[in-house]
């Protein structure tokens, strides 16, 4: 299977994650988890900027009153990015991990502007079910919503915000779940299997929702980004030129480009997988939704 794609900038990440399109800047932001970097690619000028953070970073979202909400190893931070490469970071909430070393992973905001992110044991192959899903709101309260996660991924919300999707990438699970989501309290309930990825190619990693309410999920190990209807039926798959796509997000002037980050595999040379860690731009033939922003106060 082949898909037309273009490469986004020359950046090559260890683990590219959390792409966010900022329409006002015509720019794509994303993270490199283990090296703690934030990247920004300006679409028209092709200029790449980067900022160094003090910890590994898992996910991020723009704030309504400036800056970014960022989930790192030790908690939730507010980060301000200076145009010249400097940045400031202020911790908003500590997280109490049950064991070490752990960090935050995949995350995003719900449609109401709350930030959600999952935690995991750093060694993904260890299979430790010590991860949790957390929610962080404007009251700066970090609330644990659920436990028993190994590698939490695929967090996404339906267009009306009333369905939450969450995946676990670990080999013994390979499942995407759907939940009813209380938009007033930000509480997921009525967990059920949305997609059993054991029945499809690849394991579920990061995801995005399109304007039709379909769920696009990076199928890691298979080099695919697969689209599932709201009923959980496989609709189509797009290929990327590397085995491990990590997360996807819609962007571009018309929100009709699907940006896909990826990661490098340990023990695999650049000659064997030359595009590992790159960011790709695909044309999926559908439009996406603008990424929700974190509703913070002007002084956060």
Q: Give the catalytic positions in this structure.
A: 205
In sequence order, the 6+-apart residues with CB closer than 8 A to the CB of 43 are: 26, 27, 28, 252
Tell me the C-alpha distance between 176 and 3, whole Å.
24
Cis preceding linkage at 101, omega within 30: yes
In sequence order, the 6+-apart residues with CB closer than 8 A to the CB of 185 are: none
Tell me the C-alpha distance between 72 and 70, whole Å.
6
Largest CA distance in the chain: 50
In sequence order, the 6+-apart residues with CB closer than 8 A to the CB of 55 are: 36, 72, 73, 74, 103
For the CA atoms of 46, 109, 254, 283, what is the dihedral angle to 10 degrees?
70
In sequence order, the 6+-apart residues with CB closer than 8 A to the CB of 271 are: none
Select from 244, 241, 157, 256 the least CA-distant residue to 205. 244
Tell me the C-alpha distance between 157 and 274, whole Å.
33
Give the number of other CB atoms < 10 A from CB of residue 86: 10
């Amino acid at each position: 299977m082949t898909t037309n794609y273009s490469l986004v900038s020359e950046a090559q990440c260890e683990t590219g994650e959390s792409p966010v399109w900022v329409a006002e800047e015509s720019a794509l932001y994303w993270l490199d988890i283990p090296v703690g970097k934030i990247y920004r690619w300006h679409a028209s000028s092709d200029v790449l900027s980067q900022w160094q953070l003090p910890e590994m970073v898992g996910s991020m979202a723009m704030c309504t009153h400036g800056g970014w909400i960022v989930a790192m190893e030790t908690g939730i931070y507010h980060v301000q990015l200076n145009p010249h490469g400097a940045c400031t970071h202020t911790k908003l909430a500590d997280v109490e991990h049950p064991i070490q070393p752990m960090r935050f992973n995949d995350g995003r905001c719900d449609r109401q502007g709350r930030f959600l992110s999952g935690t995991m044991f750093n060694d993904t192959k260890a299979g430790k079910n010590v991860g949790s899903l957390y929610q962080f709101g404007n009251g700066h309260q970090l609330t644990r919503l659920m436990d028993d996660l190994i590698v939490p991924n695929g967090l996404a919300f339906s267009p009306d915000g009333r369905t939450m999707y969450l995946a676990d990438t670990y080999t013994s699970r390979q499942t995407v779940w759907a939940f009813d989501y209380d938009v007033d309290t930000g509480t997921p309930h009525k967990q059920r299997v949305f997609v059993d990825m054991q029945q499809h190619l690849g394991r579920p990693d990061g995801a995005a929702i399109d304007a039709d309410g379909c769920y696009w999920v990076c199928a890691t190990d298979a080099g695919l980004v697969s689209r599932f209807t709201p009923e959980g039926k496989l609709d189509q798959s797009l290929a990327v030129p590397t085995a491990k796509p990590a997360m996807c997000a819609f962007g571009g002037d018309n929100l009709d480009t699907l940006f896909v980050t990826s990661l490098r595999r340990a023990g695999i040379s650049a000659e064997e997988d030359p595009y590992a860690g790159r960011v790709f731009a695909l044309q999926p033939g559908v439009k996406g939704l603008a990424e929700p922003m974190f509703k913070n106060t002007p002084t956060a």
